[in-house]
Amino acid sequence: MPIDYREIARLKRKEVSNRKIASLLVLSRNTVNKTVALMSASQRSWLEIEQMDDETLNKMMNKSEMINSTASFVVPDYEKLGKELARPGVTMQLLWEEYMDECRLSKKQGYKITQFKKYFNDYLSKSDFSQVIRHKAGERMEVDWAGTKPCWIDPDTGERVDGYLFVSSCSFSGYSFAWVYPNMKSSSWIDAHVRMYDYYGGVSRILIPDNLKVGVTKNSKEEVVLNRLYSDLADHYGTTIIPTRVRKPKDKATVENVVGKLTTHIIARMRDYQFFSIDEYNHQLLIELDKFNRKPFQKKEGSRFQMFIEIEKPQLLPLPKHSYQLAIWKKAKVQKNSHVCYQKRFYSVPHSLIGQEVQLKIYNDFMEIFFNSVYVHRHPLLTYENELYCTDPTHLPKDRTLYNDWTAERFIRVAKSKGRFVHQVVLKILTQGKAEQKYFKDCYNLLKLADIYSDQRLDIACQLALDLFARPSYKNIKTILSNNQDRKSISTHQSESKGRFVRGGDYYDK
């Protein structure tokens, strides 16, 4: 049965698949594939072929002529293109367009997109670059805890101690990392990722974990909610975390496969070693891991290490300047003195946030402050006993009021100006302990009472407090003023002074 070339060209112009054409025209799929390939190689459009006369069309489709004509085609360098295809964002369409640009510049014929892709896929399926069909170099890393537990001996008790094996793998090259931890807590999970990125010397664009509680809070069709620490780690390294779908092991097939192989190659090989600490185990683990990564592939040339170094590592995102540090989050309210309190020490915050609740992100040696998830400021953590305040002067109001000058000298000077007994009370408050800064807030609140009740009433209230208490406090004096005990004392003193000698507060201190 003769082949209707025009009808094939017409159907291809309508974007009908080769399989469908074979069914419609009662032809074998192989015949249709070859015919379409020859038509594509002619560099003519489907409409041009459809409008050809019989003689020209038959001449074009003559196999011997096509073989001679295809000899002039520029054959792409598929090995080079395979490496380019492994790079993120690069597609076959883009590579074909660049290939055609080169052909036009050299005034030579190039393959049509259909044949280009066919020959390219044939090459990839038979070469070391078969992985680029499914994965891009540097695009994904997969992480998980292995089911098999490594173990070592407690040197003190002689008992066996079980650990937990963290495993990661680059989806493209299969290059792997592993490390043993005493538990699967959040701190171990985060530390494992930090070590992993340092081991690889770079970061993938996507990170694929399982739905572990230490990493993923919620994973549904509607939303994915990550653990805050895990989300912070992703932000720090500039990667995107995409957890596997629930009950979809193929989403993490590479690392699942690696776990099985690592169990055989590493844990099984180390079963007869005697380790007396987790550090000893991890030291030997890295030696065996390097052997595993350098082991030649069975069905193709090269190794995981070779593919990673030559193709994948150059495509990884660079590591940040500093490794991620584990942090804890706390909430705190900004006090009237523009400071927040953490572990009985005070850190300044812009005065515009007074009265607001902020979030403290606390590391080993510094603290970051956030308001509504927006970064505000960073302070070093105070560690010495006499260090109570860490203040950035720019955080304080421009119209500097009393509480902006938190020094003992300032409080004493202002107290003296308000009255002899106010001065005495402030001195007693500041000398209660070694760290006078601890009592600055009490002094400030005490002196502010003068703005409400007047300097004279505050001084009288302090005199009464000195009579009544060995260590008068702000609360004592505020109670005296709010109950008008100072006014009653004035009335009593005035009535008694008409016929009696009135002893002062100094008399009762004797």
* Domain membership flag for residue 341: yes
Q: Let me know whether 280 and 165 are in one domain.
A: yes
Structural domain count of the chain: 4
* Domain membership flag for residue 133: no
What is the rounded CA–CA span in Å between residue 412 and residue 431? Answer: 12
For β-strands 176-181 and 357-362, DSSP reports them as unpaired
Per-residue b or e along 173-198, where b marks 16 or more CB atoms closer than 10 Å to that residue's CB: bbbbbbbbbeeeebebbbbbbbbbbe
Q: Let me know whether 212 and 294 are in one domain.
A: yes
Q: Let me know whether 378 and 422 are in one domain.
A: no
Query: In the listed set 349, 374, 395, which residue is the last one of a domain according to the structure?
Result: 395
Alpha helices (runs of H) in 173-277, residue ranges in sequence order: 186-200, 228-237, 253-262
Q: Let me know whether 157 and 274 are in one domain.
A: yes
Q: Let me know whether 185 and 71 are in one domain.
A: no
Q: Let me know whether 281 and 199 are in one domain.
A: yes
CATH code for the domain of 262:
3.30.420.10
What is the rounded CA–CA span in Å between residue 293 and residue 173? Answer: 10
* Domain membership flag for residue 320: no
Write out the residue range of the structural domain in which residue 61 sits: 5-128
Q: Let me know whether 334 and 247 are in one domain.
A: no
Q: Let me know whether 239 and 184 are in one domain.
A: yes
* Domain membership flag for residue 119: yes
Q: Let me know whether 289 and 342 are in one domain.
A: no
Query: In the listed set 315, 344, 375, which residue is the last one of a domain according to the structure?
Result: 315
* Domain membership flag for residue 66: yes
Mean pLDDT of each 10-residue bin along the chain, 510 residues long: 81 84 82 80 80 81 49 70 68 81 81 80 60 68 85 87 90 89 90 94 89 60 67 89 64 63 76 86 91 81 85 89 85 88 89 91 89 91 80 75 63 89 89 68 87 90 90 89 81 51 44
* Domain membership flag for residue 134: no
pLDDT of residue 422: 92
Q: Let me know whether 105 and 168 are in one domain.
A: no
pLDDT 10s digits, 433-457: 655 566 777 888 888 899 888 999 9
pTM assigned to the model: 0.52
Query: In the listed set 128, 163, 187, which residue is the last one of a domain according to the structure?
Result: 128
| 127 Cβ contact partners less than 8 Å away, ≥ 6 residues apart | 78, 79, 82, 300
pLDDT of residue 509: 43
What is the rounded CA–CA span in Å between residue 342 and residue 331? Answer: 9
* Domain membership flag for residue 411: yes
Residue with tokens 């109670």: 479
Full DSSP string of 254-316: HHHHHHHHHIIIIITTTTT---SSHHHHHHHHHHHHHHHHHSBPSSSSSBHHHHIIIIIGGGS
pLDDT 10s digits, 390-405: 888 888 876 554 445 5
Provide the token pair at 37: 């390939």
The angle that helices 408-418 and 440-453 make with each other, rounded to 10 degrees, is: 30
* Domain membership flag for residue 384: yes
Q: Let me know whether 56 and 146 are in one domain.
A: no
Q: Let me know whether 167 and 277 are in one domain.
A: yes
